[in-house]
Amino acid sequence: MPLFDLKQTGDPMNFTPAAPARRSFIRHSLAAAALFAALGAPASHAQAPLKIGFIGTMSGPGGALGQDQYDAFMLAIEQKGGKLGGVPVTVIREDDQLKPDVGVQAATKLLKSENVAIITGVTFSNVMMAIHKPITEAKVFLIGSNAGPAPIAGKECSPYFFSTSWDNDMLHEAGGQLATDLGYKNMYVMAANYQAGRDAVSGFKRDYTGKIIDEVYTQVNQPDYSAEIAQLQAAAPDAVYVFYPGGMSVNFVKQYRQAGLLGKIPLISAASIDGSTLPALKSLAVGAITSAPYAPNIDNPQNKQFVAAFTKAYKRVPSMYAAQSYDAAMLLDSAIAKVKGDLGNHDAFRAALKAADFQSVRGPFKFDTNHFPDAGFYRVDVVEGQDGAELKAISPITIKTRANFPAQCPMK
């Protein structure tokens, strides 16, 4: 019943970033900003601002993710005094409403009437699949900071595309590896019944060496999991692996907790309990284990200042979506500085991006030949912190078997 498909509604203009808070934050972090600006090129004056397009899901239930991406990207620009790589930038924001067709419209607008040089953001894979081709074929650089569907990491890879996140398989390969590392012999696997859910399970299986007792697919946006949880309980597995993005994970984790299972049967998840859903779960999720590319406590100077700055500006802890988008801004900053603001020479700019000469909040970061990052994954636990439940990286995950996307990509 498409009439009721209201996942995406609303007006993107209703988002107003916490401007006063951010202004005060800037005063306090001038030192940090200056430090990073020093890495860039000498400031060029009286330049026309460089136009950067931002496409993200800003409304509907997925809106929190796009908002995180946008806020972090803008934070980086604020920190650099309104510039990236020493060049003044303006960001034109578009809401794709989680609809591929709206995303294509937004991309067309950015390409045709705004003539942007770079587009960044992109929250969900279905939108990415729709806009990847139009943007890269227009020879405009696309820096994805979240969605990483497998095709664009493999045979449909493009010299104009870079990702600062992961390819979708990697999330769940890390999950499978984590379950293997933790020594669970019998796993129970659950996912939402759509393409990403099935991909999640196949990614998980690639690195999980134990036995899968059962795999269960539930309806997308199913509100109640009591029946499935009762089945699960009867099957008595060593641990459970789930993939329930967004509100689905809130439903599932609440009900898992209420069935008295959290803490009894370990719960491992990926892209389910994260910075966007934890505020709705709080201490209900304490004890859950996740595999994630990012956690606020990752110990490096870049992340420390990022978490402090983001928390101060927006009064919330940055999620992985924010972190990846902040990385995208810092990557652009480094590359634009390298070419001294001259984006006309695409080969030089591409080489500058490929060098990834920036400090990632995720730790060591380099690009594979398919322009997807080879960067850290972590076991991230939900723990009771000083201000309630928080995500805490416990240990890095070393994925043993990867889907070999770089080999499928013609770029060398």
DSSP letters for 97-128: TT-HHHHHHHHHHHHHTS--SEEEE--SHHHH
| Residues 296, 302, 303: CA angle, nearest 5 degrees | 0
Other C-beta atoms lying within 10 Å of the C-beta of residue 199: 20
Q: For residues 8 and 359, which CB has a smaller minimum distance to other proteins in the complex?
A: 8
What is the C-alpha to C-alpha distance for residues 123 and 207, in angstroms, rounded to an integer? 26
Phi, psi of 244 (to 5 degrees): -135, 90
**What would the x/- binding string for other proteins be over residues 138 to 177, using CB under 8 A?**
----------------------------------------
Q: For residues 12 and 103, which CB has a smaller minimum distance to other proteins in the complex?
A: 12
**What would the x/- binding string for other proteins be over residues 277 to 306, using CB under 8 A?**
x-xxxx-x----------------------
> From the list 181, 215, 368, 374, which residue makes contact with other proteins (rule: CB under 8 A)?
215
**What would the x/- binding string for other proteins be over residues 1 to 40, using CB under 8 A?**
x-xxxxx-xxx--x--------------------------
Q: DSSP E strands: which ranges in 219-287?
A: 239-243, 267-270
**What would the x/- binding string for other proteins be over residues 173 to 202, using CB under 8 A?**
--------------------x---------
The helix/strand/coil state of 203 is helix
311 binds other proteins (CB under 8 A): no
Minimum gap (Å) between residue 318 Cβ and other proteins: 14
205 binds other proteins (CB under 8 A): no
Sheet holding 377-385, edge to edge: 211-218, 186-192, 239-243, 267-270, 289-292, 377-385, 388-397
Minimum gap (Å) between residue 200 Cβ and other proteins: 14
Minimum gap (Å) between residue 231 Cβ and other proteins: 6
Looking only at residues 248 through 267 of this chain, which bind other proteins when binding is defined by CB under 8 A? Answer: 248, 250-251, 254-255, 258-260
Q: For residues 159 and 247, which CB has a smaller minimum distance to other proteins in the complex?
A: 247
Burial class (CB in 10 A: 0-12, 13-18, 19+), 371: buried
- The single-letter code of the amino acid at 225 is Y
Looking only at residues 42 through 101 of this chain, which bind other proteins when binding is defined by CB under 8 A? Answer: 59-61, 63-64, 67
Give residue for tokens 């019943």.
1
| Residues 121, 124, 125: CA angle, nearest 5 degrees | 110
Question: Nearest Cα to 188, choosing from 142, 225, 237?
Answer: 237
Host H or E run for residue 309: helix 301-314
Q: For residues 63 and 86, which CB has a smaller minimum distance to other proteins in the complex?
A: 63
In the DSSP assignment, the letter for residue 13 is G
377 has which bridge partners?
397
Minimum gap (Å) between residue 287 Cβ and other proteins: 15
Which residues here bind other proteins, judged by CB under 8 A? 1, 3-7, 9-11, 14, 59-61, 63-64, 67, 193, 213-219, 221, 223-224, 226-228, 230-231, 233-235, 246-248, 250-251, 254-255, 258-260, 276-277, 279-282, 284
